[in-house]
Amino acid sequence: MGRILAVAIAALAFAGPAAAGGPKLVMGAAEDAVRQPNVVMAKTQLDLLSLAGLKTVRITSIWSPGLRAPVPGEQNAIDVVADAAALTGTRVIVAVFHRDAATTPLTDGNRDEFAAYAAAIARDNPTIRDFVIGNEPNLNRFWMPQFGPAGENWAASAYLALLIRCYDELKKVSPTVQVIGAAVSPRGGDRPDGIRPTHSPTSFITDLGDFYRLSGRKLPIMDSFAIHPYQDNSSTPPSFAHPLNTTIAIADYDKLVKLLGRAFDGTAQPGSTLPIMYGEFGVETVIPDAKSASYTGIEPASVRPVDNATQAAFYREALAMAFCQPNVKTFLFFHAVDESNLDRWQSGMYYTDGTPKPSLATVAQATRDVRGAVIARCSGLLLSPRAKVVYPRGKSLAKAPLKVKVTCDIDCNYRVRLERYPRGSTTLSTRGKALAGVAKTVSLPPRRIAPGNYRFTVTLTAPVNTGPPTQLVSAPVIRR
């Protein structure tokens, strides 16, 4: 337990690529600014996320020893967010964790309370089906003790016990509840005698798997695995990988999948196929003088904040990389709106006063390009558009031009034809492009057609990561 194997790490870094996932990537923000006194104010904050193309929000709820359910004020805060999210079509994820290392749930009694607390939220809010259990349990700031007297990974062992309890209680509420485990920090020291006792995600995942196998459990412990893949500092691009050490950031995806496979494959808990959530990713920006009055405190020198253009480029790059990583199902920015204390996070697309940064437009375009499936070319990803098509009928066939309405699920190139039926000879034809989710009215050449039997055919292809074409054919139509 607690081991670091340099040779194994190097091997993990060169794991082969997997077939990519793509446009179904869920994008949102870890953003407690949406926790507001009423639904109108909460919706205002969610609208800021929507303008960036973010339709998922993660909020936090803090458990304290002795609580088996949120206190009335906390439950009301969650209810307000849930109600506002219903108005904006936003998915809500709740991260349940304790405040600090001093309140770590280490006893059976505390774990029972913690699990009951999470289950109470799920029971009282049936629209909320996604729960993150804990926060960065590989760090001493959030979980103590990290090590046993002989260097054992006590944190992984105790966290496993908590995760099992929460999984079982949440699944009792509903099998549809998604339990998101780990939420680990991207780095740690693995030094029991260090000034700051922490575990790297590499050793934490390995030891979590070992403890799970030793437990003999015949059920899973999580539906998704969360990690906070921050870079070494804000000036480091997302493409910077860590092949020879224990850090795991976005560019270390193959290493992460390999670790999960070694930890859990062959058990009841999926490993190498386990969905992954990038639960927090942020790039801090320099605050311009014109906005400085809205901020307090001092920026730590280690942060190395960047200008808005660099933040925008890094955010687009991070989304493009996640788009090509098949097991990554959710990507959350930390945050959408800056925190006002410079000692905290100024990583939003909005300043703390709610006005947009120049990076907002780039993020909005990037999220649209993810949904359109054009943000990146990915090895192994072959896409075939799906579409809803409305064809002309009845008397409209006598009018020129004929119009076909096409709505593709991703960006698509289309060819629409009117054919003689059953011969298949083309009478009218046109080509063009449509954006994901946007209904496109396609006008065929403005020529009247002779009476007879016809049918429409629509051929769709993805402009990027092009897979087999989609062929759609209407029922036969008669031009009288």
Q: What is the pLDDT of residues 62-107, one digit of tens each?
A: 999 999 999 999 999 999 999 999 999 999 999 999 999 999 999 9
Structure confidence by residue, pLDDT tens digits, 410-447: 999 999 999 999 888 999 999 999 999 999 999 999 99
The pLDDT value recorded for residue 9 is 33
Q: Which amino acid is at 443?
A: S
Residue whose pair of structure tokens reads 């959030």 in the numeric block: 142
- Give the 3-state DSSP-derived string for 417-434, with helices as H, strands as E and coil as C: EEEECCCCCEEEEEEEEE
Write down the mean pLDDT value for the chain: 93
Tell whether the model's pLDDT for residue 173 goes beyond 60: yes
Tell whether the model's pLDDT for residue 7 goes beyond 50: no
Q: Rounded distance, CA 256 to CA 310, Å?
A: 26
Q: Rounded distance, CA 182 to CA 223, Å?
A: 11
Tell whether the model's pLDDT for residue 11 goes beyond 80: no
Nearest CA among 280, 258, 281 for reference residue 271: 258
The pLDDT value recorded for residue 424 is 84
Cβ(192)–Cβ(164) under 8 Å?
no
Tell whether the model's pLDDT for residue 6 goes beyond 90: no
Cis? peptide before 463, omega within 30° of 0 = no
Specify the DSSP element, H or E, that contains 131. Answer: strand 130-133
Task: Write down the pTM of the prediction.
Answer: 0.93
How many DSSP H helices and E strands does the chain contain?
9, 16
The pLDDT value recorded for residue 21 is 57
Residue 480 CB neighbours (<10 A): 8
The pLDDT value recorded for residue 140 is 96
The pLDDT value recorded for residue 94 is 98
Residue 301 pLDDT level (bands cut at 50, 70, 90): confident
Tell whether the model's pLDDT for residue 364 goes beyond 50: yes
Specify the DSSP element, H or E, that contains 13. Answer: helix 6-13
| 394: alpha, beta or left? (left if phi > 0; alpha if psi -120 to 50) | left
Tell whether the model's pLDDT for residue 19 goes beyond 80: no
